[in-house]
Amino acid sequence: MFYAVTTRANNVTLTTTGHYELYSGDLDVSVSIPRTFNVTSASLELVSLLDGRRVTTYQLPTADGFVGDISVKCGAVDFAGQFIFQLADRHGPRSRVIAQTSPINVTWPSAAVTLRLPSSHRALTSRLNLTVNVASLQCDSVHQGVYYTLQLLYLGLDEATGFQTREVVDSRKFSTLTSLGAQQMTYACRLLDQAGVYEAAIASSHDDRSTVAKSNRLTVSWSEAYRLRVSVDAVLPCSRQLAVEFTQPSCSRSDDKIRLYAQRARHVTSSHLHYVTERRATSDRSTVSFECRLFNSTNFSYCFKYISTANNGAVHEQTTLCLPTSNVTGQLSISSSNDVTLGHRHNYWHQSYYAIAFESIGKTDEIL
């Protein structure tokens, strides 16, 4: 419930609300001007304190005084901020403000426009649903050219990063706010392609400083579908080529890659592996191959890394598999600042191999 605020100056009394929600109805002001008022005509103006813009102006005959209510039509004010009603004398060589109200805090109606996302989601695994509900609005903007934008935003990896990016993942345009109604909107699986925090928001083309409504924040984590597998326990001996099998989430992009790195010494960190080449990991296949000529017996071991690529070009290392160059080079010895866990020889499809798993952003790949 919003309370009325009365202001008196120069025997003029102005009474209005201290808080107004946009599109909730008319904005009223009560005006009382005595007969002794020595101005024949005055302007009652609704002014934005942000930029001094006059939103509406009413001419009041004041020769015999004036007592009554003035209503600003619902939708005439269509942006948030602080406003005042002021009674001004605009006649003569000098304009002057006779009386004005205390600031009116104008906000978007938080209860009338709601957006709801699920609390969690896996990247690139399924579609995302957003529940939209716009109800109890009495009007929309009366001005020409106003539109509303519903955006799905990527804020960043986590709050520690400060959410300084606010990348637009999807944007949809609506001519009126009420046209959104009550509905469930669906976002394609491929749009949520990074781990981190997302939210939905509605903005008005007439208000670039305030948001009409925001959803809860959605936490997206990496899929556990990323896997690399081979059917050998060393890259040499090699016959023509070495096949690397991979699995990926169902909506992965076509420009993900499997990169090959060489370890030239026994004790190195993962950041000092030497890049050799890469193969594209597309959704229409499950295996990539590396020719035997790429492997040199003088290197200690080789690592295969699955690199995902987001819509914005960001790349992420999802999982890593390393093999000794030959059985003679022995157990792998690679250290990393990302909590490396060395794999040991395991039986898979009745084949043995060596694996190494690095903790990637937001998750730790299990040892296969």
Which of 161-175, 237-251, 351-365 is predicted most confidently? 237-251
pTM as predicted:
0.81
- Mean pLDDT to the nearest integer, 35-59: 89
d(CA 58, CA 44): 5
pLDDT at 3: 65
Using DSSP's 3-state secondary structure scheme, residue 85 falls into strand
d(CA 16, CA 1): 13
123 vs 327, residue with greater confidence: 123
What confidence tier does 330 reach under pLDDT thresholds 50, 70, 90? low
Sign of torsion over alpha carbons 280, 285, 291, 294: positive
Q: 231-266 in b/e burial notation, b at 16+ Cβ within 10 A?
A: ebbbbbebeeebebbbbbbebbbeebbbbbbbbeee
Which CATH number among 2.60.40.10, 2.60.120.590, 1.10.260.40, 2.40.100.10 corresponds to the domain 227-364? Answer: 2.60.40.10
- Mean pLDDT to the nearest integer, 252-256: 91
Question: For 156-160, 178-182, 291-295, which range has the lowest pLDDT when averaged over its residues?
Answer: 156-160
pLDDT at 114: 96
Using DSSP's 3-state secondary structure scheme, residue 308 falls into strand
pLDDT at 347: 28
How many residues are present in the chain? 368
Quick: pLDDT tens for 271-315.
679 999 999 999 899 999 999 999 999 999 999 999 999 999 999
Q: Same topology for domains 113-221 and 227-364, yes or no? A: yes
> For residue 28, what are the β-bridge partners?
71
* CATH number attached to the domain at 113-221: 2.60.40.1930
pLDDT at 368: 29
User: Which tokens sit at 251?
Assistant: 């909506």
Question: For 22-31, 188-197, 210-219, 347-356, which range has the lowest pLDDT when averaged over its residues?
Answer: 347-356
Q: Domain 4-107 in CATH: superfamily?
A: Macroglobulin (MG2) domain (2.60.40.1930)
Sign of torsion over alpha carbons 81, 1, 100, 67: positive
40 vs 235, residue with greater confidence: 235
325 vs 9, residue with greater confidence: 325
pLDDT at 191: 97
pLDDT for residue 358 is more than 50: no
pLDDT for residue 259 is more than 60: yes
**The residue to which tokens 């370890």 are assigned:** 263
State the chain's mean pLDDT as an integer.
86
Contact present, 127 and 189 (Cβ < 8 Å)? yes
pLDDT at 357: 33
Domain ranges of the chain: 4-107, 113-221, 227-364
